[in-house]
């Protein structure tokens, strides 16, 4: 391909000492010098993308940099023996939008070890409807099931109407678990019931400071928010259960004690999706292919153009986005 071919991308630059994102025109020669050139069909919008694009979280640490922590597309050029032109591929994480150029671009050059093959169960658009949020949810569900979920106990999902929460509910319900959703948006209850939630806890009930040990209720939990909510989830978890933590929407602090861990043998399992090894990624995507209904995926997804990303980034941080947003790149 000609190095002077131009295309649109969402670039974060430093202006007056602060990061600022905007749609700009790039050339292939502007891209990083990595081994695989991908024509990007779709990206997606995650909470982390919202932080990066708005500059409200110092996500992008090497500027200028193309935003977008996910991408799905087709290999156009490759000097790696592992990838050939025409291969359908996806990337989640690996420092995209942090220290590496990301998916909000018609073309991107990437390292071959970041890529995984598009699962046969999904189209490129569906893979980005899942994106990092859904892939993270799968990592959480897999970790809980590996630990062991007590039969008959409720599994709690916090931040339930968001991307991770929506996919986690759909996966857990499909795999036979009774799911309780925690959200502050009562208008989303019908949507969450449609994904498989059978009961609800208002977010405010979990935001209040509580005792270090409370009545046992949860046989497991997927927590996406952290802070006081995570502390109360741990305090309410039943003996021998596990809680997966993958988000910090409510803060990075954890005002908890060791009592749930040493008196009830409750495990707190940290979930990282950015640098997870290939085997974990492939296992998570296999779980998604096995258990995530295409109908449920469609219910939680909206498709938007690249031009709307700055506006949508503000909305996701304000808690106004329900489910998943796919970003269509190019025509």
Residues 138 and 70 in one domain: no
Residues 253 and 153 in one domain: yes
Write the CATH number for 213. Answer: 3.40.50.720
In a domain, 294, yes or no: no
Kindly report the pTM of this predicted structure. 0.94
Tens of pLDDT, residue by residue over 271-314, are 999 999 999 999 999 999 999 999 999 999 999 999 999 999 99
Residues 174 and 59 in one domain: no
Residues 266 and 146 in one domain: yes
In a domain, 281, yes or no: no
Residues 20 and 146 in one domain: no
Q: What is the pLDDT of residue 1?
A: 67
In a domain, 127, yes or no: no
Last residue of a domain, one of 270, 291, 308: 270
| Residues above pLDDT 70, as percent of the chain | 99
In a domain, 42, yes or no: yes
Q: What is the pLDDT of residue 4?
A: 75
In a domain, 290, yes or no: no
Phi, psi of 230 (to 5 degrees): -65, -40
Write the CATH number for 94. Answer: 3.90.180.10
Q: What is the pLDDT of residue 3?
A: 66
Q: Which structure tokens are listed for 196?
A: 């498989």
Tens of pLDDT, residue by residue over 23-65, are 999 999 999 999 999 999 999 999 999 999 999 988 999 999 9
Residues 113 and 137 in one domain: no
> What total number of domains does the chain contain?
2
Domain range for 318 is 6-118+300-328
Q: What is the pLDDT of residue 18?
A: 86
Residues 137 and 204 in one domain: yes
Residues 156 and 258 in one domain: yes
In a domain, 252, yes or no: yes
Residues 62 and 182 in one domain: no
Residues 321 and 196 in one domain: no
Q: What is the pLDDT of residue 222?
A: 98
Tens of pLDDT, residue by residue over 60-96, are 999 999 999 999 999 999 999 999 999 999 999 999 9
Tens of pLDDT, residue by residue over 146-204, are 999 988 899 999 999 999 999 999 999 999 999 999 999 999 999 999 999 999 999 99
Rg over CA atoms, the chain: 20
Q: What is the pLDDT of residue 152?
A: 87
Residues 254 and 309 in one domain: no
Residues 153 and 265 in one domain: yes
In a domain, 1, yes or no: no
In a domain, 293, yes or no: no
Residue owning tokens 């009592």: 259
pLDDT averaged over every residue in the chain: 96
């Amino acid at each position: 391909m000609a190095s002077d071919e131009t295309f649109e991308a969402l670039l974060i630059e430093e202006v007056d000492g602060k990061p600022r994102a905007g749609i700009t025109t790039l050339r292939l020669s502007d891209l990083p010098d990595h081994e695989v050139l991908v024509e990007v069909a779709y990206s997606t919008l995650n909470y982390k993308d919202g932080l990066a694009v708005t500059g409200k979280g110092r996500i992008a640490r090497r500027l200028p940099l193309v935003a977008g922590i996910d991408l799905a597309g087709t290999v156009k050029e490759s000097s790696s023996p592992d990838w050939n032109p025409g291969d359908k591929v996806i990337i989640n994480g690996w420092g995209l939008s942090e220290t590496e150029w990301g998916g909000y671009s018609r073309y991107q050059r990437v390292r071959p070890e970041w890529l995984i093959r598009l699962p046969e169960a999904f189209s490129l658009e569906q893979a980005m409807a899942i994106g990092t949020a859904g892939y993270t949810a799968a990592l959480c569900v897999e970790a809980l099931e590996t630990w062991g979920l007590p039969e008959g106990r409720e599994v709690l999902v916090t931040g339930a109407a968001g991307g991770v929460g929506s996919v986690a509910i759909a996966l857990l319900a499909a795999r036979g678990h009774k799911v309780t959703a925690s959200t502050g948006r009562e208008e989303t209850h019908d949507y969450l019931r449609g994904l498989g939630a059978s009961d609800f806890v208002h977010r405010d009930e979990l935001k209040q400071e509580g005792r270090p040990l409370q009545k046992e209720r949860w046989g497991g939990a997927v927590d996406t928010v952290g802070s006081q909510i995570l502390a109360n989830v741990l305090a309410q978890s039943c003996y021998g259960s596990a809680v997966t933590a993958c988000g910090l929407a409510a803060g990075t602090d954890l005002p908890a004690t060791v009592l749930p861990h040493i008196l009830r043998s409750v495990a707190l399992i940290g979930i990282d999706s950015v640098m997870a090894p290939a085997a974990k990624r492939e296992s998570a995507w296999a779980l998604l292919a096995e258990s995530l209904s295409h109908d449920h995926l469609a219910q939680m997804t909206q498709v938007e153009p690249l031009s709307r990303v700055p506006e949508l980034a503000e909305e996701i941080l304000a808690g106004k986005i329900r489910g998943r947003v796919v970003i269509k790149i190019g025509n």
